[in-house]
Amino acid sequence: MHPRVAIPDDAAAIAAIYNQGIEDRVATFETEPRTAAMVQTWFDGQHPVVVVEHGEEVIAYASSSSYRPRACYAGIVEFSVYVRRDWRGKGAGRLALCRLIQECERAGFWKLVSRVFVENAASRALLQAVGFREVGVYEKHGQLDGVFRDVVIVEYLLPTPTGVGGKSAEIPNDIEAARPSDLAAVLALLTRAGLPQEGLTELLSTMVVAREAGQVIGCAALEVYGTVALLRSVTVDTVHRSRGLGQQLVYAQLKEVRKLGVQEVYLLTETAQDYFPRFGFRPIDRSVVSPAIHASVEWTSACPVSAQAMVLPMEKT
């Protein structure tokens, strides 16, 4: 399965998947089937639409649309995610949603919102796993086939502040390139987190850190090998977690690899397999990792063979 940005030619496949969701009566108040022509109007050049492919077939999609017409809401999008019936429960929805989050952040939006039927346990579990927050419940929010339905309000705050109208702001000032004087603090931080330190001295030029009151409280490093890169040493000091700093560090590094023209980003992890899919990373067998990564310091000497390999294909821009 591979997520990518959708194109208008995907409209027929997207419409077919959406129509299954309409027929199933578990995900939307809509009752009228959609046509490919209707779906093509979603491609407005501003609101991202993504699909997940298997082979040459589109098996899932996630879309975004305007939340409200008032200018103060310009950075908020509504979203939907649907999976073809025969691919449900296999991770396609998660891939679609994670890629949509990535594209919405890239487009400069600051929040994704939606409403989910209270009894739609599968969708609620997916959203919570990816990082969405359940804000509350709208009771008797609408009627479907003559029956009132309650919905759960969900939201996802993108970690990088953005300007109105889809113009991205820069990474916050407390996320910045590492300095040579940061090395001791970074090594101490990794020691407390139980993460490998091998090769870090040579990676200061591709490392970013989070600071508070001048102190290093988080870090993320890259090993770059031409068109592939290894993301490593991502951690935030314990007392500063749950503030979105880890996400900011990862997004800062993903922004950097796009500038470098990197096509694939890999990582190895023993404990964070459930964290990185929110950025679009997916687990892979170590045997299919790019040979260039096999020569990396982390691969050869730092991480045990039990570590899970993951990959993020970078969309060409």
**pLDDT digit string, tens, across residues 57-107:** 999 999 999 998 888 888 899 999 999 999 888 888 888 888 888 888 888
Examine the domain organization and report whether 179 and 139 are in the same domain.
no
Examine the domain organization and report whether 128 and 234 are in the same domain.
no
**Residue 166: predicted pLDDT:** 41
Asked whether 192 and 238 are in contact (CB, 8 A), the reply is yes
Domain that holds residue 74: 2-157
Mean pLDDT of the 290-296 span: 87
Examine the domain organization and report whether 47 and 101 are in the same domain.
yes
Number of structural domains in the chain: 2
User: 126 in a domain, yes or no?
Assistant: yes
**Residue 175: predicted pLDDT:** 85
Tell whether the model's pLDDT for residue 205 goes beyond 70. yes
User: 277 in a domain, yes or no?
Assistant: yes
- Answering whether pTM is above 0.85, one says no
Examine the domain organization and report whether 141 and 266 are in the same domain.
no
Of the pLDDT bands very low, low, confident and very high (cuts 50, 70, 90), residue 151 is very high
User: 274 in a domain, yes or no?
Assistant: yes
**Residue 316: predicted pLDDT:** 54
**Residue 240: predicted pLDDT:** 83
**CATH code of the domain covering residue 247:** 3.40.630.30
User: 15 in a domain, yes or no?
Assistant: yes
User: 168 in a domain, yes or no?
Assistant: no
Q: What is the 3-state secondary structure (H, E, C) of the chain?
A: CEEEECCHHHHHHHHHHHHHHHHHCCCCCCCCCCCHHHHHCCCCCCCCEEEEEECCEEEEEEEEEECCCCHHHCCEEEEEEEECHHHCCCCHHHHHHHHHHHHHHHHCCCEEEEEEECCCHHHHHHHHHHCCEEEEEEEEEEEECCEEEEEEEEEEECCCCECCCCCECCCCCCEEECCHHHHHHHHHHHHHHCCCCCCHHHHHHHEEEEEECCEEEEEEEEEEECCEEEEEEEEECHHHCCCCHHHHHHHHHHHHHHHHCCCEEEEEECCCCCCHHHHCCEEECHHHCCHHHHCCHHHHHHCCCCCEEEEEECCCC
User: 167 in a domain, yes or no?
Assistant: no
Examine the domain organization and report whether 151 and 181 are in the same domain.
no
Instruction: Report the C-alpha gap between 169 and 301 in whole angstroms.
Output: 38
